Amino acid sequence: MPRPPQISADDVTDALIRVVVDRGLDAVSIRTVAQEAGVSIGAVQHYFATKDDLLLAAYTRAIDQVVARAASLPTEPHAYVRALLRELLPLDPQREAELRVALAFTARSVHSPRLAELYEAGYRALVDAVAAVLGAEAAIEAVAVADGLAWHALCAPGVLSPDTAAAVLEAYLTRVTT
């Protein structure tokens, strides 16, 4: 009897992210993730017992990728804020995929305490990082501007292209940091 394919939790999470990016959150199930990963449902359930466990892992991965890139951003405070907020925009395939995942999970976090907790922690960390440079009120405003530009650039790129969103964010940050 042939051995089942070896798969890791990271492989399963990668498959889930591909399903979300390609087909949306509604297409996610243990079955669709198993098909995407090329393994049995049991292999997926070995790592993630429920759909919510899968979703939490993918959401965590998207946040971790942004945090990892943030570690290599410029250290000058205003340049850091600019670069950090640009990380939220769908300016390349990786950030677009992360934004698709974030959008899907942000909506679901309204009804999932586990996802809401993760969302809140990520939002608080982002605002705190920006507040260290701009102050608390300006940080909330700057994150809201970047988020709004990101969502519109992702969902209505014919109206607001990612490049235009980046230019608008830059113009906004220039106004609030001078």
| SS3 annotation, the chain | CCCCCCCCHHHHHHHHHHHHHHHCHHHCCHHHHHHHHCCCHHHHHHHCCCHHHHHHHHHHHHHHHHHHHHCCCCCCHHHHHHHHHHCCCCCCHHHHHHHHHHHHHHHHHCCCHHHHHHHHHHHHHHHHHHHHHHCHHHHHHHHHHHHHHHHHHHHCCCCCCHHHHHHHHHHHHHHHHC
**51, part of any domain:** no
pTM: 0.85
**59, part of any domain:** no
- Going residue by residue through the chain, which has 178 residues, state the pLDDT in tens, using 9 for 90 and above: 455 558 899 999 999 989 988 898 889 899 999 999 999 999 999 999 888 888 888 888 888 888 888 889 999 999 999 999 999 999 999 899 888 888 888 888 899 898 899 999 999 999 999 999 999 999 999 999 999 999 999 999 999 999 999 999 999 999 999 8
**168, part of any domain:** yes
Q: Which residue has the tokens 């993630």?
A: 48
What are the structure tokens assigned to 4, written together? 């089942």
CA separation for the pair 173, 178 (Å, rounded): 8
Query: Is 87 in contact with 70 (CB distance < 8 Å)?
Result: yes
**14, part of any domain:** no
Residue 116's domain is classified under what CATH number?
A: 1.10.357.10
Residue 6: per-residue pLDDT: 80
Determine the structural domain holding residue 97 and report its residue range.
75-177
Residue 54: per-residue pLDDT: 86
Domain count, the chain: 1
**101, part of any domain:** yes
